[in-house]
Amino acid sequence: MPTDAIEGVPARHWHRLDDGRIQCDVCPRYCKLQDGQRGLCFVRARRGDELVLTTWGRSSGFCVDPIEKKPLNHFLPGTPVLSFGTAGCNLTCKFCQNWDISKARAFDRLQDRAAPEAIAAAALRAGCRSVAYTYNDPVIFLEYAIDVAEACRARGVRNVAVSAGYMCAAPRVEFYRHMDAANIDLKAFTEGFYKKLCTGALQPVLDTLVYLRHETEVWLEVTTLLIPGHNDGPAEVAALSAWFSEHLGPDVPLHFTAFHPDYRMLDTPRTPARTLTRARRIALEQGLRYVYTGNVHDPAGQSTWCHGCGARLIGRDGYAITAWALSESGGHCPTCGTRVAGVLEARPGRWGQRRAPLTVGGDLPA
């Protein structure tokens, strides 16, 4: 591709190599690029003597979702979140559940153009308490995500990252300085799974989790999609839960969600509900306090229970809140006074399960 055909804004986190190539340092793929080449994620590209981000200001669409759909169960429950993504991804998961966006190479999916100020203003207009960088991994469009996050913070709107956590240390520090909450995909607990099904690696993801839990104020929840025959065995779930308990502690919520056949794994069956229930039980036995099931009908597995006395504190059915028993002071069990971890207020939001597409628009800076 002629280099002047690449549109984009200057990207950060790269350096020049002795052999003349440019290396992107955002994620552990460390793509090494000649002029005109794009990285594996397709959205970071070399133009002349610099690296550019080709998706600044371009989105695959905007939606208002329940925050529970990210999934975040302990961060402003019941509130609406303005959600958007761009295109591309830095992992190549064969089971991708958003492949039409994450694998988009032609930018035909990127219909909405939106400046950061316009997104922050739209979030406020729609009554959203937060904006989520989701659908595809925000790590690859971090310059745009950070510009939007700054505009949101200036207006009192919080920022939520939904990511696979596959990134390097320096961009991790920069990116998460602007985030208030994160849901990180822990796709499995073996290097083999990451290598074979995602062409990635587990250890950088574990590093991100430990970093977020111990070196930031970002509210953290974790999701593991259980795929029959690949990462759903009781021994692997027990190993994952034991690591989780030891390195992240009992208060970080863990979501086990059900796989449905998609993308390049159409022959793998849907995850049975009993597999999720078994995984939840194993994780609870390892001492985790907040373990949830997702993508199945399971009100008990989706509710928040007091780890002090066992009372149900937040009832859920899918993404809907069906009961709320937390104290008025926000976040305590009314029966025994035990505190529930999270960013919790006296009352839940009233958004419900709705998903509402939104037009943002707004002029992009010249």
- Binding interface with ligand SF4 (CB under 6 A): 24, 26-27, 29-31, 39-41, 44, 90, 140
Minimum distance, C-beta of residue 180 to ligand SF4, in the bound complex (Å): 23
Minimum distance, C-beta of residue 29 to ligand SF4, in the bound complex (Å): 4
Cβ neighbours of 156 (radius 10 Å): 10
Minimum distance, C-beta of residue 39 to ligand SF4, in the bound complex (Å): 2
Minimum distance, C-beta of residue 12 to ligand SF4, in the bound complex (Å): 11
Handedness of CA 165, 170, 175, 177 (dihedral sign): positive
336-339: long-range contacts at Cβ-Cβ below 8 A with a sequence spacing of 24 or more? 336/306, 336/308, 336/309, 336/311, 337/308, 338/306, 338/307, 338/308, 338/309
Pairing of β 50-53 and β 130-133: unpaired
Residue partners of 172: CB distance under 8 A and separation at least 6: 208, 211
Q: Which is nearer to ligand SF4, 33 or 82 (CB)?
A: 33
Token code pair at residue 136: 């595809």
Minimum distance, C-beta of residue 28 to ligand SF4, in the bound complex (Å): 7
* Strand ranges (E), the chain: 9-10, 14-16, 22-24, 32-33, 44-47, 50-53, 58-59, 62-66, 80-84, 112-113, 130-133, 158-163, 181-185, 219-226, 254-258, 291-294, 304-305, 312-317, 320-324, 356-358
Q: Which is nearer to ligand SF4, 30 or 234 (CB)?
A: 30
Q: Which is nearer to ligand SF4, 82 or 168 (CB)?
A: 168
Minimum distance, C-beta of residue 31 to ligand SF4, in the bound complex (Å): 3
Q: Which is nearer to ligand SF4, 10 or 365 (CB)?
A: 10
The conformation of residue 341, written as its DSSP 8-state character, comes to P
Minimum distance, C-beta of residue 158 to ligand SF4, in the bound complex (Å): 25
Rounded to 5 degrees, φ, ψ at 141 are: -120, 40
Rounded to 5 degrees, φ, ψ at 343 are: -105, 90
Q: Which residue is nearest to ligand SF4 (CB)?
A: 39
At 290 the three-state DSSP class reads coil
Unique residue bearing structure tokens 């990511």 = 163
Q: Which is nearer to ligand SF4, 73 or 163 (CB)?
A: 163
Q: Which is nearer to ligand SF4, 109 or 158 (CB)?
A: 109
Q: Which is nearer to ligand SF4, 11 or 321 (CB)?
A: 11
Minimum distance, C-beta of residue 60 to ligand SF4, in the bound complex (Å): 17
The Cα–Cα gap between 233 and 267 comes to: 19
At 161 the three-state DSSP class reads strand
At 241 the three-state DSSP class reads helix
Residue partners of 232: CB distance under 8 A and separation at least 6: 226, 271, 275, 279
Minimum distance, C-beta of residue 68 to ligand SF4, in the bound complex (Å): 29
Strand-pairing partners, residue 22, are 16, 33
Q: Which is nearer to ligand SF4, 139 or 313 (CB)?
A: 139
Q: Which is nearer to ligand SF4, 40 or 325 (CB)?
A: 40
